[in-house]
Amino acid sequence: MQILKWHLTDSQELFDYHYKHFPELFQVFVDKPIEYSINSDGFRSDFEYTPNKNLEVDVFLGCSHTIGSGHYWENTWPFIVSQYTGNIIVNLGIGGSGIETAFYNLLKYAHYFNVKNIFHFQPVYPRYDFIDYVTRNFYEGKDFKFFPFQPQWDGDDPDYSPYSQDYQHRVMVTDRYMYYNHIRYTYAIQGIAKELKVPYFFHHVYPKGPWVPKMVFDYDFVLTNKEGRKCVGITNSYGELVPKGDLLARDSSHMTKNEIKCVGNEFIHLKKEYPEGFVHKIPYMEKIFPKNSP
């Protein structure tokens, strides 16, 4: 286990930039810094993921929204849901990852614990995963990693991708392929849930509310971090303060505290109304087979 002050997009460099330019928005994180408890498997958790079939847990799948990047642990949507179910949190979220990583992580850890529910939040966007082919881990039978790839975002390293530029632009950024990729892994995860005989709750819609940061602030690349990746931050504020009770993510680019709360409450609602599980409709027929759609 390790305790980190900074994690992924929530970096010291980005915070220093924001605090210098918008101190009134980020003072709260000076008064009360965020800490990330990361276990040896790389997940945000307060315990190690070792097999224990007596441990009743809820599994949470997704990307940085599931980790709770830029937020206190108690403000993450897995924490909110766990307060309702009463089960221990197994957070398998991986920042920047696509839905294939969610499937892979569940496949690995599904039989470690006594799983009671699987909750999965993963918006539909063109983000894909590929196996790390630079190290020798995969070829030598060791644990290997998936790396995320987002062809619509120029912050990724263009030299580290298994896809040609032509394939990226012709296929991977299209709605048709994006929805196909999402639905195949949703069904695959649903299959694991059925094998475990536990309910699976899948939600992919961003929360909508009267106050949205992207309507109040302008965003752009504001710096390049020490790893050479471009970082998105606030470039201009129109003077509106964050509503009382809400809180920006410390990296500014993730959902606010209240938006995350909406995600958590949606899963609680689904658990109450559909105890056997519920998968939000993905309009894959219209996207993948438009000529044959009913």
Strand, coil or helix: what is 206?
coil
Which of 53-62, 170-179, 229-238, 281-290 is modeled with the greatest confidence? 53-62
Assess if residue 281 is contained within a domain.
yes
CA dihedral 45, 205, 277, 286 (to 10 degrees): -140
The predicted structure's pLDDT at residue 158: 53
Q: Which of 99-113, 141-155, 175-189, 263-277 has the lowest mean pLDDT?
A: 141-155
Within a domain: 294: no
Starting at the edge strand found earlier in the chain, the sheet holding 278-279 runs 88-91, 52-62, 113-121, 200-203, 278-279
Domain assignment present for residue 231? The answer is: yes
Query: What radius of gyration do the chain's Cα atoms show?
Result: 19
Helices 175-196/99-109 angle, 10° precision: 10
Question: Above 90 in pLDDT, residue 113?
Answer: yes
Domain count, the chain: 1
* 135 inside domain: yes
Q: Please give the Cα distance from 284 to 294 (Å, whole number).
A: 12
Give the mean pLDDT of 287-292.
Answer: 76
Report the pLDDT value the prediction gives residue 290, as an integer from 0 to 100.
75
Residue 197 in this model has a pLDDT that exceeds 80: yes
| Domain assignment present for 277 | yes
Q: Tell me if 293 is assigned to some domain.
A: no
Q: Which residue in 99, 125, 104, 114 sits closest to 41, CA to CA?
A: 104
Position 113 in a domain: yes
Strands, E assignment, the chain:
2-4, 36-38, 52-62, 88-91, 113-121, 128-131, 146-149, 200-203, 217-224, 230-237, 278-279
Mean pLDDT over each residue of the chain, to the nearest integer: 91
Q: Using CA atoms, how far apart are residues 187 and 183, in angstroms rounded to an integer?
A: 6
pLDDT score of 102: 97
Domain that residue 217 falls in: 2-288
SS3 63: coil
Percentage, residues of the chain above pLDDT 70: 96
